[in-house]
Amino acid sequence: MINALLLSLGQLTDRPILVLLLKVILITLLLLVIFGIAVFFGLTGLFSYFELEGGGFAAAATAVLIAIFAAVFLFRVIAMFVLNIFSDEIVDAVEAKHYPERAAQARQPGHIVGVKMGLASVGRAIGYNILALPIYVLLLFTAVGTPAAFFAVNALLIGRDLQDMIVVRHAADQGTDADEWTLSKFPRFGLGLITAILLAIPFVNFLAPILGAAMATHLVHTKRDESPET
């Protein structure tokens, strides 16, 4: 795990990685801005419909607060969705540098598959966190219980998302079984936990999706190399 993280950090300055990082940051911020604008116009319409005073200012202030809330709590969901769309590029860059033979055998899923995987990721993130909401509330009095439960749930989800970005490229190649490419529970959870923690740190969270995908690439290929069938 540590070696995968160090290798991923060492590749952050590669041009393809930097270009992709810029794409993920810009598109994620753009989606947050679009969300804020949509909330503003929605609130303006509500204020107008109910004939409330100060609709423009109140709607703008509320929209800003909601956008900030979304940036804090939904950044992980949006960033992972965007990363799924461009996952080919980050995995290509890592495989080309460290696993060239596997890169030549990889099947390119394409952006359409990436969008589908991204939407599935969003659905799982929202659904499972809603299901876990009663647990989050019950653990509020413990001070640390709610954050711990939140990171645990999202570590499981993120670990699966990152792993699947690599599995979808290789599991169907040459009749190989998907199980040969999937990580065991603890490495997958560790991968997801590290990425979830990085996503919670301001400014570092912009790097987190890229680092997570690169780490997943190293972990999956290392697991494949150690497989008895290899």
**Tens-place pLDDT, residues 82-123:** 888 888 888 899 999 999 988 888 887 777 888 899 899 989
Geometric angle at alpha carbon 78, from 67 and 40, rounded to 5°: 25
Closest CA to 103 of 168, 169, 6, 8: 169
Q: Please check whether residue 19 is in contact with residue 86, taking contact to mean a CB–CB distance below 8 angstroms.
A: no
Which tokens go with 126? 């929202």
Residue-wise pLDDT for 164-204, tens only, equals 989 888 875 544 566 777 888 999 999 999 999 999 888 88
Q: Which amino acid is at 36?
A: G
Residues 6+ apart with CB under 8 A from 47: 54, 55, 56, 58, 59
137 contact partners, CB below 8 Å, separation of at least 6? 146
* Residues 163 and 182: beta-carbon distance below 8 Å: yes
Per-residue pLDDT tens over the stretch 52-78: 665 567 667 777 777 777 666 778 888
What pLDDT is attached to residue 178? 66
Structure tokens at 113: 């598959």
Residue spans per domain, the chain: 2-226
d(Cα 222, Cα 218) in Å, to the nearest integer?
A: 6
Contact 213, 91 (CB under 8 A): yes
What pLDDT sits at residue 205? 87
Tokens of 105: 């055998």
Residue 28 has pLDDT above 60, yes or no: yes
Q: Tell me how far apart the alpha carbons of residues 85 and 92 are, in angstroms, rounded to a whole number.
A: 13
Pairwise CA distance, residues 116 & 221, whole Å: 24
